[in-house]
Structure 1
Amino acid sequence: MENKLTEKIILEQENKLYKAIKNANITALAELLHDDLLFILPSGQTITKEDDLDTYRNGALKVDELLPEVENLNIIDDVAVITLTIKLNGKFNELPFEAKFRYIRFWKKSGDKIEVIGGSGIAI
């Protein structure tokens, strides 16, 4: 892996994240999310990595379609900040949903790992 974060590397990580979300791949998600992750949901609730993984473990969230559109990507030393819109549809607690969200996500490079350390999403 390159020493320095690049746009290409972050977009590759984003694509791995999208695939893990769609497939509810807990192993991949666990590798992509930092142990100390904090994320603010559209409801305003703050969740941790374990909270997020539990959503997939218990089958509460099933994503059928995930269409991302990157708006901005800034790299600041060993941290990348990305903003994007994502059209999502699927089921949450067996209730169908379809919505568009705006996300901000923070990726950090630590040694050989690049992980999400924080973020937030709002419905738009």
Structure 2
Amino acid sequence: MWLFSGGPKYVPPPPCPLRQLSMHMINTQPDINRAEQALREAMLASDVSILDDLIDDQLLFIGPDGSVLSKEGDLGLYRTEAQHLTTIDFQETRVRLLGGMAFVTASAFVSGVFKGSAFAGNFRYLRVWHQTPTGWRVVAGSVHALGSS
């Protein structure tokens, strides 16, 4: 690039946004894995305090019956013991990162009690995490029953 103040000078191009994003993604993957593990442990322990920290106030979650739950609705299942999970065994997890968001799909064998009825089966989860100043939080998700055993 030519500058008109004394002859030719080289001005380097601005940093490549894709390169910065790639470095961000490399550092983010372990954070998402830790957040997923913390969510799993909190769900198994019915730890509403930790779930409250991990779930965004704007949560939209679609349950296996098609119902749409808010954060309060989701936490209410644990507070009232309407849902108690005894097993969450993830068999496959995939993470895709896009800017300040992470999209996670997972298949899992899950067992427990839901509204008084025992259940066990294979489920597919989708969770959308977004990065906040205080850490990663689930802002959207869904679960779909794949079959029972």
TM-score normalised by length of structure 2? 0.78
Identity of matched residues, %: 29
Alignment of 1:82-97 (within 5 A): 82-97=104-119
Hey, what does 1:74 align to over in structure 2?
A: 96
Per the TM alignment, residue 8 of structure 1 is displaced from its structure 2 partner at its CA by: 0.8
Per the TM alignment, residue 69 of structure 1 is displaced from its structure 2 partner at its CA by: 2.7
Instruction: Give the distance between the partners of 2:97 and 2:66, measured in 1 at CA.
Output: 26
Alignment of 1:1-124 (within 5 A): 4=24, 6-124=28-146
- RMSD between aligned residues: 1.4
Q: Which has the higher contact order (CA 8 A, sep 6+)?
A: 1
Q: Count residues in correspondence.
A: 122
Q: Which structure carries more helix by proportion?
A: 2
Larger radius of gyration: 2
1:43 aligned counterpart, secondary structure: coil
Cα deviations by residue, 1:57-100 (Å, 9 ceiling, x for unpaired): 00111111110133321010100001000111111122211011
Segments of 4+ moved more than 4 angstroms: none
Q: Which structure carries more strand by proportion?
A: 1
Structure 1 regions of 5+ residues with no counterpart? none
Instruction: Give the distance between the partners of 2:133 and 2:86, measured in 1 at CA.
Output: 34
1:64 aligned counterpart, secondary structure: strand
